[in-house]
C-alpha cells in the first residue's frame, strides 16, 4: 500500500518529493487517473481547479486521464482505472466522492487498486477511508453539506482506517476552523484524528497502523479520548 493523503496536493516541496519517491518510474513513464467527482457538486468558477490540475499535469505524465466515476459505463471506467499507475482523487466534498465510489459499484476495484497502485488524495480525496466517516458529520457539524448533496446517509468509500483526517489547518478560507473548534469536534468524535495544513500529508503503507506525518508545516493529532497529543 502506497497512499499519500494531502491537504493541498503537491505544491509543498517535501510532500511532492515524498510522492515522487513512491512511484516505480518517473512521471514521464507513468499514467495517472485524475478523479474529479468531489468538486463537481459545487457551482461557481472552476478556474482554481483548472489551475491546480494544470500544476499536477506539469509534472509531465505519460498519460493524464481526467475522469468522473459516473462518466461512463462501469466497465469503461474500471478499465481506465486499472490502466493507471497513480489514482488521484481531487478535493471538494468527501461525502460525494465516497458516494461516487460506492454508487458506481467501483469500491471493490478501489480496494484492489490500493494494493497495486499509488494513491494520491487532496483534501476530500484524503478523507474517504475512515470507519468514522458518518461520526465525523456529527462531530464537526457537516449536516448542511450532506443535505445539499441529497444523501440519505454517508459512509466511507472503503472503511480502511480507525483514524480520521481533516485538511486545511490554518487556511484563511476556513476561518471558523480554529484550534478551539477542532478540539471541540475531536472531543465529540472521541477517536484518533489528524488535522493537517497545506504543507503536510499523511503517508500510509499499512492501513492497520498509524500514518507517518510528512510535514514542514503544522499539524494536530487527537487521541481516542479526543485529547490533543
The residues, ordered by sequence, that sit 6+ positions from 209 with a Cβ below 8 Å of its Cβ are none
Which CATH number among 3.30.390.30, 3.40.50.1820, 3.40.50.880, 3.30.830.10 corresponds to the domain 2-222? 3.40.50.880
Q: What percentage of the chain exceeds 90 in pLDDT? A: 94
**Cβ 86 vs Cβ 117: under 8 Å:** yes
- Helix orientation angle between 107-116 and 74-82, rounded to the nearest 10 degrees: 10
**The cell 478499465 sits on which residue?**
79
Residues 106-130: tens digit of each pLDDT: 999 999 999 999 999 999 999 999 9
Q: What is the pLDDT of residue 191?
A: 87
Residues 33-83: tens digit of each pLDDT: 999 999 999 998 999 999 999 999 999 999 999 999 999 999 999 999 999
In angstroms, the CA 68 to CA 4 distance is 21
Residue 106's nearest CA partner among 144, 152, 68 is 68
> Around 15, how many Cα atoms within 13 Å sit in the side-chain half-sphere?
25
pLDDT band at 229 (very low <50, low <70, confident <90, very high): confident
Q: What is the pLDDT of residue 170?
A: 93
Q: What is the pLDDT of residue 226?
A: 85
Amino acid at each position: 500500500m502506497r497512499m499519500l493523503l494531502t491537504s493541498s496536493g503537491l505544491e509543498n516541496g517535501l510532500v511532492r518529493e515524498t510522492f515522487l519517491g513512491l512511484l516505480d518510474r518517473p512521471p514521464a513513464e507513468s499514467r495517472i487517473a485524475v478523479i474529479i467527482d468531489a468538486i463537481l457538486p459545487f457551482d461557481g468558477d472552476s478556474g482554481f481547479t483548472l489551475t491546480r490540475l494544470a500544476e499536477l499535469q506539469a509534472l509531465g505524465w505519460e498519460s493524464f486521464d481526467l475522469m468522473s466515476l459516473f462518466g461512463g459505463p462501469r466497465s469503461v471506467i474500471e478499465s481506465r482505472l486499472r490502466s493507471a499507475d497513480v489514482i488521484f482523487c481531487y478535493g471538494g466534498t468527501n461525502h460525494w466522492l465516497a458516494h461516487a465510489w460506492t454508487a458506481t459499484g467501483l469500491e471493490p476495484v478501489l480496494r484492489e487498486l490500493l494494493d497495486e497502485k499509488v494513491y494520491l488524495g487532496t483534501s476530500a480525496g484524503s478523507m474517504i477511508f475512515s470507519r468514522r466517516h458518518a461520526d465525523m458529520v456529527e462531530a464537526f457539524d457537516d449536516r448542511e453539506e450532506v443535505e445539499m448533496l441529497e444523501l440519505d446517509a454517508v459512509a466511507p468509500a472503503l472503511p480502511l482506517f480507525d483514524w480520521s483526517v481533516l485538511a486545511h489547518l490554518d487556511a484563511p478560507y476556513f476561518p471558523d476552523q480554529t484550534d478551539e473548534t477542532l478540539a471541540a469536534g475531536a472531543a465529540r468524535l472521541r477517536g484518533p484524528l489528524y488535522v493537517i495544513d497545506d504543507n503536510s500529508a499523511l503517508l500510509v503503507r499499512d492501513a492497520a497502523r498509524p500514518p507517518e506525518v510528512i510535514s514542514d508545516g503544522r499539524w494536530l493529532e487527537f487521541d481516542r479520548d479526543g485529547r490533543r497529543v
